[in-house]
């Protein structure tokens, strides 16, 4: 299997669908510009790739017990809408995070942040619009595809995006800024702010693919480990990475007094936990016969930026 090629196909399919979704517009052009700027402005597209790949991994597996009558096209089209929705949620969270009142970031992915281009008011509204649009899209998909697995996938994503998921983590991060947090609080922030939505991408994809019972449980276990491992990798790279590859100065977290996995648990334990979580994640994907996901997880594990 050619990982890079398959990943490119997922990303291309996603970006074409996102572009088409934004084109169906009766709304004021200025908000279209602000939304497109951030939503169609690149990025790894990790969450949608995970969702699409998890859906296909279930469909590909002879052992999963999925009814053959359930067409692959139906499942994939449904997963594609959910993949777009999860990228909208991720993008809204970045736009709001970058605002002067929160992280006050001027650049993202090498370009000025949304509020630097469109002003703070429009950036707040663009974030609100993207969050609402993600739900419009998923609800519409539930009705359009008339496919029973959509609703449980929607529950999974809604919970992970909200106050008991991503927003809860973000709140705790903002609330503890400038203080040194204990291990429990750091884990709360990481598991909610970053891991929850990554996890939901995999689990929602598997649900749409048709996974249930013990099969779905294994997806959940893999997803759990990947979410947290991804953040630990970020924190380790900030200490050990190469600033020219990373695109930002090494050690910026420490200089900004940010609480990271490394600052709370130390570099050695961070590396140990990180290794354990990736190994476990990859092993679960292998058990599931999810060849692409296992390869993609290895790719994320070994990334240098």
Residues binding a copy of itself (CB under 8 A): 25-28, 30-31, 35, 92, 96, 99, 101-102, 119-122, 124-125, 127-129, 131-133, 135-136, 139-140, 142-143, 151-152, 154-155, 158-159, 161-164, 167-168, 170-172, 174-175
**Checking phi first, is residue 181 left (phi over 0); if not, alpha (psi -120 to 50) or beta?**
beta
Closest CB 199 distance from a copy of itself, rounded Å: 16
Task: Please check whether residue 144 is in contact with residue 82, taking contact to mean a CB–CB distance below 8 angstroms.
Answer: no
Question: Which CB, 30 or 254, lies closer to a copy of itself?
Answer: 30
Write the DSSP symbol of residue 111.
E
Q: Which residue blocks in the chain are alpha helix, DSSP H?
A: 3-23, 29-39, 46-60, 72-98, 114-118, 120-144, 150-161, 166-175, 183-189, 196-209, 213-240, 243-246, 252-255, 261-265, 267-287, 291-301
Task: Please check whether residue 79 is in contact with residue 216, taking contact to mean a CB–CB distance below 8 angstroms.
Answer: no
Task: Please check whether residue 300 is in contact with residue 233, taking contact to mean a CB–CB distance below 8 angstroms.
Answer: yes
Question: Which CB, 20 or 151, lies closer to a copy of itself?
Answer: 151
Encoded tokens for 249: 């100065």
Question: Which CB, 51 or 130, lies closer to a copy of itself?
Answer: 130
Task: Please check whether residue 55 is in contact with residue 76, taking contact to mean a CB–CB distance below 8 angstroms.
Answer: yes
Question: Which CB, 107 or 164, lies closer to a copy of itself?
Answer: 164
Question: Which CB, 111 or 175, lies closer to a copy of itself?
Answer: 175
Question: Which CB, 162 or 247, lies closer to a copy of itself?
Answer: 162
Write the DSSP symbol of residue 108.
E
Closest CB 167 distance from a copy of itself, rounded Å: 5
CA atoms within 13 Å, Cβ hemisphere of 229: 25
Closest CB 280 distance from a copy of itself, rounded Å: 25
Give the separation between CA 7 and CA 5, rounded to whole angstroms.
5
State whether the Cα torsion 243-245-248-251 is positive or negative: negative
Closest CB 103 distance from a copy of itself, rounded Å: 9
Closest CB 194 distance from a copy of itself, rounded Å: 16
Closest CB 23 distance from a copy of itself, rounded Å: 13
Closest CB 270 distance from a copy of itself, rounded Å: 24
Question: Which CB, 172 or 237, lies closer to a copy of itself?
Answer: 172
């Amino acid at each position: 299997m050619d990982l890079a090629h398959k990943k490119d196909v997922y990303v291309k399919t996603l970006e074409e669908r996102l572009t088409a979704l934004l084109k169906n517009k009766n709304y004021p052009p200025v908000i279209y510009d602000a939304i497109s700027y951030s939503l169609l402005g690149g990025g790894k597209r990790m969450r949608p790739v995970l969702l699409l790949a998890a859906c296909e991994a279930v469909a590909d597996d002879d052992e999963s017990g999925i009814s053959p009558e359930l067409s692959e096209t139906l499942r994939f089209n449904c997963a594609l809408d959910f993949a777009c929705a999860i990228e909208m949620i991720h993008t809204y969270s970045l736009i709001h995070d970058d605002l002067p009142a929160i992280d006050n970031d001027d650049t993202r992915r090498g370009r000025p942040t949304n509020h630097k281009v469109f002003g703070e008011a429009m950036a707040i509204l663009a974030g609100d619009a993207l969050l609402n649009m993600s739900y419009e899209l998923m609800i519409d998909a539930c009705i359009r595809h008339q496919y029973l697995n959509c609703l449980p996938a929607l529950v999974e994503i809604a919970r992970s995006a909200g106050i008991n998921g991503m927003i809860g983590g973000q709140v705790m991060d903002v609330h503890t800024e400038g203080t040194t947090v204990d291990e429990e609080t750091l884990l709360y922030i990481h598991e909610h702010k970053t891991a929850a939505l990554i996890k939901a991408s995999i689990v929602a994809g598997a649900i749409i693919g048709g996974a249930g019972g013990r099969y779905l449980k294994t997806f959940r276990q893999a997803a759990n480990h990947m979410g947290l491992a991804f953040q630990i990798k970020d924190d380790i790279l900030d200490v050990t990475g190469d600033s020219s590859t990373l695109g930002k100065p090494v050690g910026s977290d420490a200089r900004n007094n940010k609480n990271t996995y490394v600052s709370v648990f130390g570099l050695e334990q961070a590396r140990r936990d990180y290794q354990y979580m990736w190994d476990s994640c990859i092993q679960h994907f292998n058990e599931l016969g999810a060849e692409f996901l296992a390869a993609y997880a290895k790719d994320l594990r070994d990334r240098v930026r």
